[in-house]
Structure 1
Amino acid sequence: MSRVEDDKSATPGLQDALKADRLPIWRLLAFTMAGFIAILSETMPAGLLPQISRDLGVSEAMSGQLVSLYALGSVVAAIPLIAATRRWRRKQVLLLAIGGLFLFNMATALSTDYVLTLIARFVAGMAAALIWGLLAGYARRMVPHHLQGRALAIAGVGQPIALSLGVPLGAWLGTLFDWRGIFGIISALTLALIVWVVAAVPDYPGQAQNQRQPIRKIFMTPGVRPVLFVLFVWILAHNILYTYIAPFMAFVGLANHLGLVLLIFGFSSVIGIWITGQYIDTRLRFLTLISLATFAVVAMVLGLASELNGVTYLGVFLWGLTFGGAPTLLQTAIADAAGEGADVAQSMLVTVFNLAVAGGGIVGGLLLEQMGAGSFPWTLAFLSLFGLLTVWACKNNAFKPDRRS
């Protein structure tokens, strides 16, 4: 899928990129916006729970299931949808996915029935899964091989921005509009994105019959499973703390500074993905090792010095710095390992990612209830060390030390 020679004739855009040896930024930013809207659609309701619960006549806990059903739709649909559409032209599938997100975000905005709203959220999550399964492979096909990591970093920057801004942005917008109006705004942005994709994004053919490998064979490809394992423990660790960041900030005496903490995390995440984009094509293994090692050290420092506010702020900054590039690093690693099966491998990554997000909520909740928020740093350190050891051991297929060329 990433072989440039196969795609030279597919679009003048690729020929231009090859000739100038530079990135087609405007086209890649359409993918950035797609990822931003997909994550924003998922996280926004968390900042609007009081409004949603009053309007739909349910408890805030039941309103929270709007987030859960979206994630569940992504888990259920990612692999089947990507596998079923492998032979379709890529732009057709991308527009179908973005169009589905538009329709079912609008259905969420217009629905007055709780069950119908949950169904709309579930299908919107399915559309988001298809978007995430497409973005990495699509972005990589638009550039020559030695720029693929950088292109993926640009395409992926929407994710950390939306993750850090989704909840507080939802809460702030909730003071200006009702929750239905906010979903209407997201839908308008999605409609604009459809126009952007139609006008600017090049098209590519799907996979021929002889290129389509069985899903099990792709899963068993050397290097794919280690990347998925590292993804699971890394995202699980991240979401234990991110999901329960409010009680952890209360534990360290910063309950009134949650907005500042999220801002620091979001800012450093963007820096992290910028650094990743600069060096991923030459230092993928090093960046992954140093990110996991730093995350483990930061977690232990937070556990030992949680009463020092300055240390906590610094820890949050380094946490965001190391996490910002994580999705790009792992998307690139699994695409390199899977080869022609990269799109299906990306759908596996989406599935495992969402399972880890759900697992972070479950494990974090159990830890909070049984041991308190003070147990989070040590759990994070333990999980990140598991990931670090896996990356260290898997240098032949999954996390190669050589330059990506």
Structure 2
Amino acid sequence: MTTAPRAGPWTPRVALALAVLAAAAFIYVTAEIMPVGALSAIARDLQVSEAMVGALLASYALVAAVATMPLVRWTATWPRRRTLLWTLACLSVSQLISALAPTFEVLAVGRVLCAVTHGLMWSVIAPIGARLVPPSHAGRATMAIYVGTGLALVVGSPVTAAMSEMWGWRLAVGAITVASVAVLLAARFALPAMAMTGVVAGGRPRRGGHYRNRALLTLCALTLVGVTAHFISYTFIVVILRDVVGVRGAQQAWLLAAYGVAGLTGMALFARPGDRRPKAAVAGCLAGSALAFAVLATLGFADWPHVLAASLVAVAAIVLWGATAIAMPPMLQAAAMRHSPDDPDGASGLYVAMFQVGIMAGSLTGGVVYEHAGVAAMLTASAALMLGALVCVLLTRGLFAMHPATSEK
């Protein structure tokens, strides 16, 4: 049986492996959010409403949330590289189906195939990174992988949106297909096999008893609340930029890029604190996001004219929101894995499932609040939920312990 490599320092080989994992995250997130930038182009080409194309995002999150834990259990004995390669192969096939889809229904099928393996990919990618480095560097390794997510927001989504406008959405999806195949080949040669720890001949890996693990369940519940708070407003970030910040047209793209760049910067700044003082780092991110939402909500309720001073404050809030919201998930996922040392993949899978449920809950709640109460009330809801998550983190002990005594505590 192939054994996992011994975790070592940040060697060039480890750096290359982490870069490949970040590339996998980049291409998956780019594929997930591609319909956002190509909404009108897809609707025109397939002769459906833009609302139907928008529904692809909510259905994606639903499928990912439902499929994650069963697939994590099914692939429990597989070497981790094989699992990742399988998800990348499914992504490549799904994008090829989508690029050639003659109807909206076929496009939806391609999206479902991508969504099915999305949660599994995120369930194994962070544990792979954590096993490449010493335990003291696990948080930084996870943060390095999440750089791919930030780059998807800054580069992937704008580029595919531009390609869709200039040459058609099918060519954009075709480019994602080619890129996913390239990442698949890179992962095959850059990553070690990584057999599951605790596997005996003919047996299954040891389990951490996730549904009896109070700390892990509490952490996942707080993740659900925080992600819901974020997506209540993020789903309508273009509306916020227009109605609160006062930015319209092409200038929105620059501010969205600034949001993503702030996220990458935030990940860099929180990488070391996330390993050494994870509770303080997470609390700082929650406080920053809550403050950003509160400032934007205040500007929304005040309905101030878009004078320079108010616009600058709003822009600063958007940047703060990006820096703290994007930096938080890798620290939460690293904490989840620490609470189940015998089965980090399963713990990561539970975290990912709750994250996807949060995306759905936030998008749906945000739509209802925005429709009935407006953008300011929507931002207030985000601020209130984020502040509630912050209070729970500050009052709860043991959630971010660096070395939990057991996976049950």
Superposed pair shares fold, TM > 0.5: yes
Shift of 1:119: 1.3
User: What is the alpha-carbon distance in structure 1 between the residues aligned to residue 118 and residue 18 of structure 2?
Assistant: 18
**In structure 1, which of residues 238, 255, 276 is the aligned counterpart of residue 248 of structure 2?**
255
* 1:235 matches 2:236: no
Using the aligned pairs only, state the percent identity: 27
Cα distance, 1:402 vs structure 2: 7.8
* More moved, 102-111 vs 166-175: 166-175
In the comparison of the two structures, how many residue pairs are matched?
Answer: 391
* CA RMSD between the two structures: 2.2
1:10 and 2:4 are equivalent in the alignment: yes
1:1-400, aligned counterparts within 5 Å?
10-11=4-5, 14=6, 17-18=8-9, 24-206=14-196, 207-208=198-199, 209=203, 211-213=205-207, 217-252=209-244, 253-256=246-249, 257-306=251-300, 307=304, 308-396=310-398, 398-400=399-401
Change (3 A) 1:320 1:375: same
1:158, distance to aligned residue in structure 2 (A)? 0.9
**What CA distance in whole angstroms lies between the structure 2 residues aligned with 1:211 and 1:201?**
21
SS in 2 for 1:339: coil
Structure 2 unaligned blocks of 5 or more:
305-309
Q: 1:55 to 1:197 in 2, by over 3 A?
A: same
Deviations 1:292-328 (A, max 9, x none): 1122122222222454101001001111111121111
Q: How big is each residue's C-alpha offset from its partner over 1:318-362, in whole Å with a ceiling of 9 and x where there is no partner?
A: 111111211111001101112212211111111111111111211
Q: State the distance in 2 between where 1:114 and 1:39 align.
A: 21
The one-letter code matched in structure 2 to 1:399 is F
1:219, distance to aligned residue in structure 2 (A): 2.5
Match of 1:3 in 2: none
Q: Is the 8 A contact 2:69 2:350 kept in 1?
A: yes
- 1:210 to 1:178, Cα distance in 2 relative to 1, 3 A: closer
TM-score, normalised to structure 2's length? 0.90
Change beyond 3 A, Cα 1:305–1:66: closer
Instruction: Say whether the 8 Å CA contact 2:150–2:261 is kept in structure 1.
Output: no
Provide closer, same or farther for how the CA distance between residues 176 and 233 of structure 1 changes in structure 2, counting only shifts above 3 A: same
Is the Cα–Cα contact under 8 Å of residues 164 and 171 in structure 2 kept in the other structure? no
Deviates more, 1:98-107 or 1:54-63: 54-63
Deviations 1:49-92 (A, max 9, x none): 12111221211111223323322221121111011111111111
Q: Which runs of 4+ in 1 moved over 6 A?
A: 20-23, 401-404
> What is the identity, as a one-letter code, of the residue corresponding to 1:224?
L
More deviation in 204-213 or 227-236?
A: 204-213
* Cα distance in 1, alignment partners of residues 4 and 298 from structure 2: 56
Letter matched to residue 268 of structure 2: W
Q: List alignment gaps of at least 5 residues for structure 1.
A: 1-6
Q: TM-score, with normalisation over the residues of structure 1?
A: 0.91
Write out per-residue CA displacement over residues 9-54 of structure 1, whole angstroms, 9 at most, x where no aligned residue: 533xx46x24x77881111011101111111111011111121112
Shift of 1:255: 3.0
In structure 2, relative to structure 1, the CA distance for the partners of 1:301 and 1:402 (3 Å cut) is farther
Kept in 2: contact 1:249–1:258 (CA 8 A) = yes
Partners of 2:350 and 2:230 in 1: how far apart?
19
Deviations 1:222-242 (A, max 9, x none): 311121122111111111221
Q: For residues 261 and 219 of structure 1, what CA distance do their matches in structure 2 show?
A: 41
Contact 1:98 1:190 in 2 (8 A): yes
Segment drifting more, 149-158 vs 297-306: 297-306
Whole-angstrom CA distance in 2 between matches of 1:401 and 1:137: 16
TM-fit CA distance, 1:190: 0.7
Whole-angstrom CA distance in 2 between matches of 1:187 and 1:210: 34
1:45 touches 1:170 (CA, 8 Å); kept in 2?
Answer: no
Task: Tell me, in whole angstroms, the C-alpha distance in 2 between the residues paired with 1:59 and 1:337.
Answer: 45
| Distance in 2, Cα, partners of 1:198 & 1:279 | 32
Q: Distance in 1 between matches of 2:156 and 2:110?
A: 19
Please tell me whether the aligned partners of residues 90 and 205 of structure 1 are also in contact (alpha carbons under 8 angstroms).
Answer: yes
Is the alpha carbon distance of 1:240 and 1:164 closer, same or farther for their aligned partners in structure 2, counting shifts above 3 Å?
farther
Q: Is the 8 A contact 1:39 1:162 kept in 2?
A: yes
